[in-house]
Amino acid sequence: MIRQIPTLLTAIFLLLLTACQTASPDAQQQEVPPGLDLSLMDTSVNAAADFYRFVNGGWLDQVEIPADEDSWGAFDELAKATSKKVLTILESTIEQGNFDPNTDQGKAVLFYQTAMDTAHIEELGLNPIETELRKIEAISSLKELETYLIESAPLQSNAFFSFSVRPSLNNSAINAGFLNEGALGLPGKEYYVKDDEETLRLQREYQAFVSRVLQLAGAGEQAAQKEAEDIFQLEKRLADAQLDKIQKRNPLLLNNPHAQSDIAAMTPSFDWEAYFQSIGLGSIDTFIVMQPAYIKSLENVLAKQPLDKLKSYTRWTLLNSALAYLSRDFEQANFDFYKGVLGGVEEMSPRWERVLNTTNFGIGEALGKLYVDAYFPPEAKQVAEELVDNLKKAYAERIQKLEWMSDSTKVKAQEKLANLRVKIGYPDEWKDYSQLEVKGKEDGGSFAGNMMNVSRWSWERKVEKVGQPVDKGEWFLPPQVVNAYYHPLYNEIVFPAAILQPPYYNYQADPAVNYGGIGAVIGHEISHGFDDQGSRYDAQGNLKNWWTEEDRSRFEARTQRLVDQFNAYEPLPGLFVNGEFTLGENIGDLGGLNVAFDGLQKHLQEHGNPGPIDGFTQNQRFFLSWGTVWRSKYRDEAMKKQVKTNVHAPGQYRAIGPIVNMPAFYEAFNIGEDSPLYRADSVRVVIW
């Protein structure tokens, strides 16, 4: 799961980039024990009765969600500790004053330094985006609005529609342009189309937030309230025409190549020929329209809505994309709604942390060079590569033994596994930031101004890729971000340097702890290539069916049982996990944990079994390690948002969801039919 940070950059395509967080609490800079910390368990509880509490009870009792977070868990602990390491590098570099602002690393330091100058940011107020606001205010016709949308495309605030570039779904060797829906201020369609009491409350809160920002930007109270209502109603129209969150997971619904002339016919009121010509793609005939019904619906919006309402929405998308980079009042309004109302967070995280997160995702690889030099030893990469190789072999054996899959489909599955690309630690070739302009205060630079420069720079980089061969060496997360992902169009798994730390990997720990940690994470990412959507892509990353009809039917029957299991989980009264929405991640967890367990057995056979440690066998410690990875706490608001918008189930269900389907777990902890965790053979799920 990629943490989403409000920026002027286009959001990463979540369907295609399946990233998965794994983590722990604020870390008081104490030493991490080499293995399992028994003080964080609650061994007074019977593991068969409540395994999650048995593993994490001490942690659950000791740890409070920090005031600046909406949830807290193992991932967050490691991410916070890693951020402090990066901060140390930045502060040391700034203090020494020996960085060259013309180098990539120097630009990252200058970007951070400029964003930390709050006095200058307060002085500037709205000034960094004032030019754009004046352009929008001066619009006097639909044609002029069209001109502005075309000229401002590099800012990527995405009013009405958005444009992105990635490998073609039908030919993953060549980059294609993708036309998609426009920006919404609420997290997704569900927040606009439902009419239950909670959703209506959030809609009112959202309109109050929009009104507050508009007043900060100079509007009178009554005018701002009316404009906020108009903006919400227009966004609701846009949301109504979009696919829902489950449909968006299905690449078959999104793969809609259309010629420019076809796109022009969908929305006659917008000059698509001029748009593509202006952004330098006039010679490209075909683009992928991810939601044709949505693009068609724009005609009713652009042709029938009053110009002042279209301008209001356009201005709002710009404002909302920049709030986090403006003066304190704007930043506070942004926090109060997106973190406070939607997440229940009590206070902002420290400024250094907020700025660092933005730096990571804006100019991350430049900063990543500094992190790798300081904290990532070559040995860590070598060990991880050996682990991946071992797990790929275990996965190949599991595929070959599948009873439900035919031999012909097994051949294709093995081919896909054999072609799986593995990236560990950091890129072989770093991104080139030489064309990115980062300005300090003395040169007229600002936080928001530099963010706009990053957006323009990233826009130019992606547009020039259309029609060109795909760079298979490119990374989509910097090394200092604690995360991992599988990309189906590249058929690759990626593990940035920062995730190769405790609790996921610890070279001092026994093998069970590492296989239950980083081993399961690696297995999870491999399994994404074979989940309900990743399995639609072939060995080269093309959206191409490689299944027999009978095998696909058997596969879907098994995944439906997993859907049913997760549909029954109820994190809050009346709030149930959506098993269909979270299916891909749940398949990843189930497959990943199974293959990691097989990998552990191979390791123990080859290197010997160290026997019980702290009273637990290697098999027990494997499952205990997995459970610690998913220890987590959520504020109620955050839990509601998680279930509505996140393709991952809440942590406690990820901890127990796979293991209740694994005979090895029942054997390790003597789980009998009288246990609440027990699942009869008839409902247990085995997929990969």
At 308-355, the pLDDT tens digits run 999 999 999 999 999 999 999 999 999 999 999 999 999 999 999 999
Region 190-213: mean pLDDT is 97
Handedness of CA 33, 35, 38, 42 (dihedral sign): positive
Find all residues with CB under 8 Å of 319, minimum gap 6, and list them: 129, 133, 213, 214, 217
For residue 525, give both structure tokens: 């990412």
In this prediction, residue 8 has a pLDDT band, given cuts at 50, 70 and 90, of very low
Residue 3: pLDDT over 50: no
CATH 3.40.390.10 range(s) for the chain read 18-87+355-668
At 632-659, the pLDDT tens digits run 999 999 999 999 999 999 999 999 999 9
For residue 385, give both structure tokens: 């590569």
- Torsion, Cα 121 123 128 133, to 10 degrees, reads 130
Residue 6: pLDDT over 80: no
pTM for this predicted structure: 0.92
Are the C-beta atoms of 514 and 443 separated by less than 8 Å? no
Find all residues with CB under 8 Å of 125, minimum gap 6, and list them: 326, 327
Find all residues with CB under 8 Å of 195, minimum gap 6, and list them: none
Residue 33: per-residue pLDDT: 52
Residue 32: per-residue pLDDT: 43
At 36-62, the pLDDT tens digits run 999 999 999 999 999 999 999 999 999
Region 172-194: mean pLDDT is 97
Are the C-beta atoms of 666 and 51 separated by less than 8 Å? no
Find all residues with CB under 8 Å of 61, minimum gap 6, and list them: 42
Residue 83: per-residue pLDDT: 96
Residue 25: pLDDT over 50: no
Residue 600: pLDDT over 80: yes
In this prediction, residue 7 has a pLDDT band, given cuts at 50, 70 and 90, of very low
The overall average pLDDT reported for the chain is 93
Region 432-437: mean pLDDT is 96
- The CATH number of 127-325, from 3.90.700.10, 3.40.50.20, 3.40.50.2300, 1.10.1380.10, is 1.10.1380.10
Residue 656: per-residue pLDDT: 97
Residue 306: per-residue pLDDT: 97
CA angle 484, 645, 576 (to 5 degrees): 110
Tell the CATH topology of 18-87+355-668: Collagenase (Catalytic Domain) (3.40.390)
Residue 95: per-residue pLDDT: 87
Find all residues with CB under 8 Å of 276, minimum gap 6, and list them: 260, 282, 284, 287
Type of residue at 181 = E
CATH 1.10.1380.10 range(s) for the chain read 127-325
Residue 18: pLDDT over 60: no
Q: Which of 377-391, 415-429, 599-613 has the lowest mean pLDDT?
A: 377-391
Residue 338: per-residue pLDDT: 98
Residue 383: pLDDT over 70: yes
Find all residues with CB under 8 Å of 137, minimum gap 6, and list them: 311, 315
Residue 586: per-residue pLDDT: 98
Residue 20: per-residue pLDDT: 56
| SS3 assignment, position 572 | strand
Please name every residue paired with 617 in a beta bridge, in sequence order, or none if there are none: none
The CA R_g of the chain, rounded to the nearest whole Å, is 25
At 661-679, the pLDDT tens digits run 999 999 999 999 999 999 9
Residue 271: per-residue pLDDT: 96
Region 461-469: mean pLDDT is 97
For residue 33, give both structure tokens: 């024990």
At 136-180, the pLDDT tens digits run 999 999 999 999 999 999 999 999 999 999 999 999 999 999 999
Residue 11: pLDDT over 90: no
